[in-house]
Structure 1
Amino acid sequence: MNRDTGFPRADAEHDFLRARRRQVLSRLAAWLRREPDDVNIMLPFDEVIAALGWDGERRIGLRVIRLASIVGSVDRGRDFDRRFRPTSGRVRQRWERLALASRRGEAIPPIEVYRVGELHFVVDGHHRVSVAHALGLATIDAYVTEVRTKLDPAGIRFRGDLIVKDYRRLFLERVPLTGQARAAIVLTDPWDYARLGEHVEAWGFRLMQDEGTFLDRAAVAARWYDSEYVPVVRMVRQAELVGERTEAEAYLWVACERYRLIRTHRWDDDVIEALRVQRH
């Protein structure tokens, strides 16, 4: 609850000290809970775009946005944590000046943000966002530029999530699946995207050797999904070998185990049964 003494300048000073105290306590609590190191770090816009792949942008003008949707920054990540609490006393003077203006009811200019999916990244207005959080506001006025990306940003919470997105983007450049096939391939370990990409490329090379013709990446990806991935996943489901994995993880596991244990590239019921026996 915000302290209100009736003296705006004193209240603004208390606002800053309270925000700093909450930032320190939040960092301590994260350490005690052994949460990931990046749990309190705001997302860097450049790293997010690099991981997702830039695909264009457009200005959509002045909007009212939720403060909770602002998760990152273009260039001021070191001054504030994930919830825009100040990380040091370096920003205090300007912060308290804005808090004082807000408490006096003065007009505060809109901030400027990039929008990526449902997430927002501050271009200009970090102190204004921080003060708004400290005063318990839920929304803020912002000039918004929407950025389109090659990958869906859904699922990004922490900086570590960008690694998986980056590897997925690279995988889809190597294996350009579309539509339902694209959505079906979900892996939790970023390195598995690299392993699966190599696997599909090797599969495509054998296919071209067998047919004596050249196929581009898109054709290989479509053929692999329809004639290899879908039938194998169906057999793996029937054999109850998916377990707690995603279907793509189950496919990758049985594909690697098949060759390691049986030295074959074929698929049939005997192969699946052999893998079931080896598993137990």
Structure 2
Amino acid sequence: MAPDTGFPDADARHDFDRMRRRAAVARLAGWIMRQPGDVTEVLPYGEVVAALGFVSERALGLQVIEVADIVGSVDRTTDFDRYFRPVSPALRARWQRLAAAQRRGESMPPIVVKRVGDMYFVVDGHHRVSIAFARHFETIDAYVTEVVTRVSPAGITARSDLLIKDHRRLFLSRVPLAGEQRAAITMRDAWEYSVLAEMVEAWGFRLMQQTGEFLARAEVARRWFGEEFLPVVRMARAASILSRATDAELYVLVARERYRLVRRHVWSEEIISELSQRGDLS
């Protein structure tokens, strides 16, 4: 970064030009390296909350937040990139005016953000955030509203991560596990969540046929986890089947292959042993 000249207007102009160049270089580098296009995009608040499932929100008041934790926008996703570098020259006039005023020592009002997990999404103050990134500020004052979601936002780094969050949310609405049981079910392929949900629902239907009583979804989920999921995973792990898979991925695969072998919804050491002999399941 070039040293300041001491002339606020000139320094603000240089900052804007530098940020625009870096945005262009980042897009070009992503294209050359064949990275997904959404890696350099600002996260859209609406899509994030839709994928995670909105529960509630509450105002937290004025806080000092980390600039690096600001990753998205409520309504300006096409004007800035992931690091709030301006992507359009049309932003220059207002951006430079605010940047020069800040350099002259004029106070800037706090920005307004929504917090989802550890991520912040700008409601008002996009230019101020962009200037903070340009000048390498570590913190910024903000009025914060905390948003609570049904599914944890942990692990979201790009727009493409929202698909798996959305499918996990739908899975948990069909299979309402809680606590450690809920945390134990993870998939790397979003579409496998729907496969697993259908397996659990089918297991619950067979259970209700056997017992002759209706069971709520939460009760089916709890019993499936303890009576079906854990025993099967333990047997499969002991047989060293798919050691790199998550427990949920392992269950789906062996359950699917089990039915192909015996055409029945039963488990035995012999079935697990036969599955373990298959080279593609090691």
In the alignment, the residues of structure 1 paired with residue 204 and residue 6 of structure 2 have an alpha-carbon distance, to the nearest angstrom, of 73
Taking only the aligned residue pairs, the percentage that are identical comes to 59
Note the alpha carbon deviations across 1:157-213, whole angstroms, 9 max, x for none. 110111101000000000000111101000011100000001111111111111111
- TM-aligned CA deviation for residue 104 of structure 1: 0.8
Counterpart for residue 173 of structure 1:
173
What SS is found at the alignment partner of 1:200? helix
Note the alpha carbon deviations across 1:53-87, whole angstroms, 9 max, x for none. 11111111111111110000000000000000001
Does residue 98 (structure 1) correspond to residue 88 (structure 2)? The answer is: no
- TM-aligned CA deviation for residue 242 of structure 1: 3.1
Does residue 152 (structure 1) correspond to residue 145 (structure 2)? The answer is: no
What SS is found at the alignment partner of 2:38? coil
Letter of the 1:80 counterpart: F
Counterpart for residue 31 of structure 1:
31
In the alignment, the residues of structure 2 paired with residue 215 and residue 279 of structure 1 have an alpha-carbon distance, to the nearest angstrom, of 39
Note the alpha carbon deviations across 1:99-157, whole angstroms, 9 max, x for none. 10111111011100001111000000000000111111111110000111111111111
In the alignment, the residues of structure 2 paired with residue 106 and residue 2 of structure 1 have an alpha-carbon distance, to the nearest angstrom, of 22
What SS is found at the alignment partner of 2:40? coil
The 5 A counterparts of 1:229-268 are 229-268=229-268
Counterpart for residue 73 of structure 2:
73
The answer on whether the counterparts of 1:2 and 1:135 sit within 8 Å (CA) in structure 2 is no
What SS is found at the alignment partner of 1:115? strand
Counterpart for residue 64 of structure 1:
64
In the alignment, the residues of structure 2 paired with residue 150 and residue 2 of structure 1 have an alpha-carbon distance, to the nearest angstrom, of 45
In the alignment, the residues of structure 1 paired with residue 59 and residue 97 of structure 2 have an alpha-carbon distance, to the nearest angstrom, of 30
Letter of the 1:93 counterpart: A
Letter of the 2:75 counterpart: D
The 5 A counterparts of 1:48-63 are 48-63=48-63
Does residue 134 (structure 1) correspond to residue 134 (structure 2)? The answer is: yes
Where structure 2 has 5 or more consecutive residues not aligned to the other structure, the ranges are: none
What SS is found at the alignment partner of 1:35? coil
Letter of the 2:145 counterpart: T
Counterpart for residue 205 of structure 2:
205
Does residue 14 (structure 1) correspond to residue 14 (structure 2)? The answer is: yes
In the alignment, the residues of structure 1 paired with residue 109 and residue 85 of structure 2 have an alpha-carbon distance, to the nearest angstrom, of 20
- TM-aligned CA deviation for residue 278 of structure 1: 3.1
Letter of the 1:141 counterpart: D
What SS is found at the alignment partner of 1:83? coil
Counterpart for residue 124 of structure 1:
124
In the alignment, the residues of structure 2 paired with residue 13 and residue 3 of structure 1 have an alpha-carbon distance, to the nearest angstrom, of 13
Where structure 1 has 5 or more consecutive residues not aligned to the other structure, the ranges are: none
Quote the RMSD (CA, aligned, Å): 1.0
In the alignment, the residues of structure 1 paired with residue 264 and residue 101 of structure 2 have an alpha-carbon distance, to the nearest angstrom, of 73
In the alignment, the residues of structure 2 paired with residue 160 and residue 262 of structure 1 have an alpha-carbon distance, to the nearest angstrom, of 38
- TM-aligned CA deviation for residue 6 of structure 1: 2.0
Letter of the 1:192 counterpart: E
In the alignment, the residues of structure 2 paired with residue 200 and residue 72 of structure 1 have an alpha-carbon distance, to the nearest angstrom, of 36
What SS is found at the alignment partner of 1:39? helix
- TM-aligned CA deviation for residue 2 of structure 1: 4.1
The 5 A counterparts of 1:206-225 are 206-225=206-225
Does residue 114 (structure 1) correspond to residue 124 (structure 2)? The answer is: no
